[in-house]
Structure 1
């Protein structure tokens, strides 16, 4: 990769000039030197590093990661039972296939090891600076650069860094938070959050309370039940519990299972069969978008089936009353709860649906006045879903991302923000967040970002930002569309900012539609600021880099379909 040193956007030598406008003596397609900084070395950052190296020229690229190793959310989340509810074979990069997953649904530790191994195998570590905390980011209009202040957590040194393009790969499952409960600091036992689990926590023979019944709450409840004396699940809201995603490929009743050595060998030795298997899994998860339309027959059938399933497992009328929702399937993200419902039926497990009044030194006090005495409180209360980074981001005209997103986070296709030039975000608001595995989305978004950057690099644009009009109309379309979806119905969901009637923050359509939308950028939705006085200065000396480098200059004769491949109906 190149360096920023002595970079000249339009070349040193004039090819032609009329005294007012000078044409640089460079061929069309010349890639000016750029620096790209990515924040976060999770799945998004690793994929970006690989694709930049494979497909970009003249780029200086670096990732700043706050943790001691790569892995992102899978590095940070280590609570008992932590696993991905997406089939493992669909939670991998297309360019780093792994036929050797040990189980159908992989644990967090196995996914983290996969990401670590991938970073080593493909030599991506050279771009990563571990234990570096980004403190703030500020756009400088005159230079067309982002200025970052970064702290080296090992040395304590704070230094500044600039870049042409800033990409936030920190993710939305990054900033965990304690629940806002009175007296939380007064508890005399052990208080722990699932996203900040301590390896020294001993639950054996203790009275444990788990607050929350999202995916982490369900997983940790089922995992710790066998070793505790008594277990209390504090769940304020009902939720749909599914046997599992792509459950027809899982074990009996959607259960997890171990892949045999024979199966691993079969998938490893037959790439065609391995691809067919992964495509079938993907189709099972994303091939029926109509389930998300609130009045569809598919939605009604799914509600009936899941209600029957939950009643069959729970059996007790009290549990059924408190756990089976009235809202549709998908309003809150359905949670595959392996063993969760079964755990709630155990004699040493209690479900408490009364609102928590406060946390007291002995345990938790609920609205009825009862104090439930506990040794350990586990907060499975999720993350800060505001999408606002933990560090200040200041864009054009001193607009801050915090101010911009104070009332509602909005982004163009979930990847770019108005008033934030040369800034991209992975899995931002408006991304397909409830549409299956995140990795295909990450790969599609990366291609889109790099196409925008490539255009700016080779056509001499100083900055690019989605227009306010495009973002406004995209959000208008989103809100109107979601009047018809299950996500837009009444329920408390992080897909709506934790509000019952909040605006929906997921893509208005299927994952397939989202990927199609990202294949060919709508450049007309962006505001492009050229480096030169004349926007056609990139055409340079009349030649192209193909001619200069002696490459195939008759490429247009190779395939009559060249130029049509991006068109679909």
Structure 2
């Protein structure tokens, strides 16, 4: 097998990460700026990001599949509303191949750091990967534009528990699943209680001799829709124009309406009050009575991310499944000892304890040698203008950056909105007639947006008192977007150039302006987005003219 070709040393754009964010960027970049060169780096062995890494038993999507796909690459072949990890990865790789992204990607390559070179107007990206034999090779890649598509949920949150080295069985985190672990006929302990654990427990319970789940808190569970897309429905989506897009739009409207759960208004409070008895009734009916006291939350609906129940509560009725509420104190050679003094025997321990949040560890150095970590500290916490741009970091954009996560709908919608906005901002740099060297958000506009978002978040349900991974100990929320996805879409439609510093080269030129054409184009764009999606040629042409 021949070694992979050496990566280029210069391109117009570099993207770190080839999950769904990176794949979407590569696809839209090819549509907006087909002449621009780009290269992608990923530390994993394949594209797909989350859906390549997370292969734990029961891994599946907990967002309707029609929304967990790109508007420019609608999928008529989903098998069901909540497809499996394998099906989602297959879809992602198909989109990547369609837009030629694998050929522009170096896999198994870890980005060690990025630094802005002011005098030359480029980003210097330091990369390392394993070379031939046991050696490592390192190089520098320069680019005009840098995108971070590593996301906010990358590094597993592994609890610091004494006795790990003494355990005689196997231990792994759900995000670092070891496919060599044998679960059949084993005594298994699952630590954690969230979306991942709710998928792992019923899957493992089918084969394990015993399963004990150790939890510290409760979550509101919502019954998962069990809807399969038959071959007839798939045929309709493929062959009858607009049916799949209309299906997507209607589901979007239904889910978008649920954003009211998170607000601070009296209407939102009444909405949460109405939802609570409905969810509690379902949970009491679906779960064993002996667990009601530790399963049903005492906080407001929406304060933590809702968990989709696709068989979890039913699995708790199995005689070999035990639910225990306690903190893990110590791992012994034969199991786990909890704070209550109980000892739970285990041959396999699975940590379903999520990820480190509000944590952006990639070493990125902007202007004047200021690191992104230092910039966030000065700001008060991680934050970015419209979730993507940072002052002092020219031509740099984050995908699924601070406050980009949604508590109610698909992250892919936020990804698409952010990409479309970033590529519009980059038109003076990457456009065919672009003469700009850099684009950079103004400091006061960044602070205005970030602090405004934090002020809005402080009054929402996430600040109502529950212990949620959305908030840091100081109360700073770097995870959730404080407004609806419709709001993000609206604010991504065009660029307020007064918010940006556009630096030109030898021949200064004014930034693009919005004239009377904007109102007409906006109406046409809305119609095209609803009828044909972002991929329509009409939309692309209008965007090229306006932006």
TM-score interval, normalised by the smaller of the two chains: 0.7 to 0.9
**Aligned residue runs from structure 1 range 495-510, under 5 A:** 495-497=470-472, 499=473, 501-503=475-477, 505-510=479-484
Report how far residue 560 of structure 1 moved. 9.8
- In structure 1, which of residues 344, 352, 375 is the aligned counterpart of residue 347 of structure 2? 375
2:222 is aligned with 1:263: no
- Residue number in structure 2 paired with 1:106: 83
When residues 504 and 446 of structure 1 are mapped into structure 2, their CA distance, relative to the original with a 3 A threshold, is closer
2:368 is aligned with 1:416: no
2:257 is aligned with 1:280: no
Report how far residue 558 of structure 1 moved. 11
Report how far residue 396 of structure 1 moved. 1.4
Does the 8 A contact of 2:261 with 2:271 survive in 1?
Answer: yes
Separation (CA, whole Å) in 1 of partners of 2:495 and 2:525: 11
Does the 8 A contact of 1:427 with 1:433 survive in 2?
Answer: no
Does the 8 A contact of 2:11 with 2:142 survive in 1?
Answer: no
187-196 or 358-367, which moves further after superposition? Answer: 358-367
SS in 2 for 1:59: coil
Unaligned runs of 5+ in 1: 6-32, 245-253, 540-555
2:385 is aligned with 1:427: no
**Aligned residue runs from structure 1 range 287-366, under 5 A:** 287-294=257-264, 295=266, 296=268, 297-316=270-289, 318-366=290-338
Over the residues paired in the alignment, what is the CA RMSD in angstroms?
2.6
Does the 8 A contact of 2:383 with 2:478 survive in 1?
Answer: no
When residues 308 and 564 of structure 1 are mapped into structure 2, their CA distance, relative to the original with a 3 A threshold, is closer
Separation (CA, whole Å) in 1 of partners of 2:353 and 2:399: 23
Does the 8 A contact of 2:191 with 2:352 survive in 1?
Answer: yes
- Residue number in structure 2 paired with 1:544: none
- Residue number in structure 2 paired with 1:79: 56
**1:140-173 CA-partner distances (Å, limit 9, x unpaired):** 1111111011123344321111011100111122
Report how far residue 61 of structure 1 moved. 0.8
Separation (CA, whole Å) in 2 of partners of 1:563 and 1:230: 59
**Aligned residue runs from structure 1 range 90-489, under 5 A:** 90-155=67-132, 156-244=136-224, 254=225, 256-294=226-264, 295=266, 296=268, 297-316=270-289, 318-389=290-361, 391-405=362-376, 408-457=381-430, 458-489=433-464
When residues 36 and 306 of structure 1 are mapped into structure 2, their CA distance, relative to the original with a 3 A threshold, is same
TM-score relative to the length of structure 1: 0.84
Does the 8 A contact of 2:192 with 2:353 survive in 1?
Answer: yes
When residues 81 and 500 of structure 1 are mapped into structure 2, their CA distance, relative to the original with a 3 A threshold, is farther
Report how far residue 452 of structure 1 moved. 1.0
- Residue number in structure 1 paired with 2:503: 529
**Aligned residue runs from structure 1 range 512-527, under 5 A:** 512-527=486-501
TM-score relative to the length of structure 2: 0.87
**1:476-519 CA-partner distances (Å, limit 9, x unpaired):** 2222212432122212222224x494436311211111110111
Does the 8 A contact of 2:30 with 2:99 survive in 1?
Answer: no
Does the 8 A contact of 1:299 with 1:328 survive in 2?
Answer: yes
When residues 121 and 529 of structure 1 are mapped into structure 2, their CA distance, relative to the original with a 3 A threshold, is closer
- Residue number in structure 2 paired with 1:63: 40
Report how far residue 456 of structure 1 moved. 3.2
Report how far residue 449 of structure 1 moved. 0.7
- Residue number in structure 2 paired with 1:248: none
**1:318-364 CA-partner distances (Å, limit 9, x unpaired):** 41211111211221110102111122232211111111112222211
Report how far residue 566 of structure 1 moved. 7.6
Separation (CA, whole Å) in 1 of partners of 2:510 and 2:358: 41
Separation (CA, whole Å) in 2 of partners of 1:337 and 1:217: 11
**1:244-292 CA-partner distances (Å, limit 9, x unpaired):** 3xxxxxxxxx3x3432212211221113222111111111211342222
- Residue number in structure 2 paired with 1:251: none
Does the 8 A contact of 1:37 with 1:61 survive in 2?
Answer: yes
**1:65-122 CA-partner distances (Å, limit 9, x unpaired):** 2212111100000000000001112211122221111122110110001111222233
When residues 337 and 157 of structure 1 are mapped into structure 2, their CA distance, relative to the original with a 3 A threshold, is same
Report how far residue 238 of structure 1 moved. 0.9
73-82 or 409-418, which moves further after superposition? Answer: 409-418
**Larger Rg, first or second structure (1 or 2):** 1
